[in-house]
Amino acid sequence: MATLIEPRAEAGIPAGHARNPGMALDLGRVAAVQVNRSAVERRAATLPARRTVKKEWQAAWLLRAITCIDLTTLAGDDTPGNVRRLCAKARHPVRAEILERLGATGLDIHTGAVCVYHNLVPVAVEALAGSGIPVAAVSTGFPAGQTPLPLKLDEIRASVAAGAREIDIVISRAHALTGDWQALYDEVRAFREACGEAHMKTILATGELGTLRNVARASQVCMMAGADFIKTSTGKEGVNATLPVSLVMVRAIREYYEATGYAVGFKPAGGIRTAKQSLDWLTLMKEELGDAWLRADLFRIGASGLLTDIERQLEYFATGRYSAAYHQPMA
């Protein structure tokens, strides 16, 4: 297996890291994909059991996890007010007194992005102005993806025009379930063109793809079509991010990188709610892809409740006690 290029010291990205342009669909390569489910499950089970991070190292890893969170609100009762509040938390995700006790006041800790529905993109863009934090919009008929292709493309273009710098698209699961990889490639390629300069995170909805082999094949096809990230789930499926599915996807990323030289990011989403879980996914990225994939340009965690628990754990490390719940009212 080829060795991953070491990250640049100043940026933490692989040398020569550039946006994935995609490639022609290679159906032979897709057909050759195989997954040993029992081996995947055994390897995934070792990740939370074998490696532990304690004390100041744990605090440092949790601060890193915060910088990789796509702080998300995707509820039917979202309002401009709660989106502005979310954006304020994205700017300052940990209370100042905790950062001071940790000696981290100079680190400019903020979340990786704020993720909202299209209609609230302008609100988030305004609230985050000057922060450098991008707004991500879910698109293409999220979460089911059951809308006509022209409407999906129009939705992407509208979100980009409104100021979204990242677009989280959903694939048509039927293409993967029926093995129509050409249709999936063409669809995702069209999404990528509609995104323009905005980065595209491609949601596979892995809980609805049936098999790990379908997950691996869909991952390869979406990267060939130009995905900047591949993402596990919408968070609305019955089964969302799991370590076995994530392992299959990050190994597909590794294979694609070794074959093409282009680094594709990874985003687990749905069900990651505790600080301990965030450490499991950071461990996965470090062990399977290396330190370059421990930064927001190549790794995100889609979450709405995770930040509260991370802040609680950081406060415990800093003070020796857990605070009352009302001290962390936003996540």
pLDDT in tens, 70-91: 999 999 999 999 999 999 999 9
207-217: per-residue pLDDT in tens?
Answer: 999 999 999 99
Check: CB of residue 289 under 8 Å from CB of residue 253: yes
- The Cα–Cα gap between 295 and 300 comes to 8
How many CA atoms within 13 Å lie on the side-chain side of 153?
13
Order the strands of the 199-203 sheet from edge to edge.
265-267, 229-231, 199-203, 166-170, 135-138, 113-116, 69-72, 301-303
In a domain, 251, yes or no: yes
In a domain, 22, yes or no: no
In a domain, 12, yes or no: no
In a domain, 66, yes or no: yes
CB atoms within 10 A of CB 204: 26
Return the CATH number at 247: 3.20.20.70
- The Cα–Cα gap between 283 and 298 comes to 14
What are the two backbone dihedrals, phi and then psi, of residue 242, each rounded to the nearest 5 degrees?
Answer: -130, 160
Q: What is the pLDDT of residue 9?
A: 31
Question: How do strand 301-303 and strand 69-72 relate by DSSP bridges?
Answer: parallel
Enumerate residues 6+ apart whose C-beta is below 8 A from 192: 22, 200, 225, 226, 227
Task: Indicate if 152 belongs to the active site.
Answer: no
Task: Indicate if 267 belongs to the active site.
Answer: yes
* Token digits of residue 185: 């490639």
Running DSSP on this structure, what letter comes out for residue 208? G
Check: CB of residue 203 under 8 Å from CB of residue 195: no
Q: What is the pLDDT of residue 190?
A: 98
Q: What is the pLDDT of residue 6?
A: 33
How large is the angle between the packed helices 181-195 and 149-161, nearest 10 degrees? Answer: 30
Running DSSP on this structure, what letter comes out for residue 324? P
Residues of the chain with pLDDT > 90: what percent?
A: 88
Q: What is the pLDDT of residue 232?
A: 98
Please, what are the averages of pLDDT over each run of 10 residues along the chain (331 residues)?
30 62 98 97 90 86 97 96 96 94 93 98 98 97 96 98 98 98 98 98 97 98 98 95 98 97 97 95 96 97 94 93 75 45
In a domain, 8, yes or no: no
Q: Considering the entire predicted model, what is its pTM?
A: 0.93
Check: CB of residue 40 under 8 Å from CB of residue 244: yes
Catalytic residue among 231, 280, 297, 309: 231
What's the domain range around 78? Answer: 27-327
In a domain, 164, yes or no: yes
Q: What is the pLDDT of residue 329?
A: 64
Nearest to 137 by CA among 172, 161, 110: 161
In sequence order, what E strands does the chain have? Answer: 69-72, 113-116, 135-138, 166-170, 199-203, 229-231, 265-267, 301-303
In a domain, 4, yes or no: no
Catalytic residue among 89, 152, 168, 280: 168
Q: What is the pLDDT of residue 13?
A: 42
Catalytic residue among 70, 267, 297, 309: 267
6-30: per-residue pLDDT in tens?
Answer: 333 333 345 447 999 999 999 999 9
In a domain, 35, yes or no: yes
39-57: per-residue pLDDT in tens?
Answer: 999 999 999 886 678 889 9
What is the length of the chain?
Answer: 331
Q: How many domains does the chain have?
A: 1
- The Cα–Cα gap between 20 and 13 comes to 14
Task: Indicate if 286 belongs to the active site.
Answer: no
Q: Which residues pair with 283 in a beta bridge?
A: none
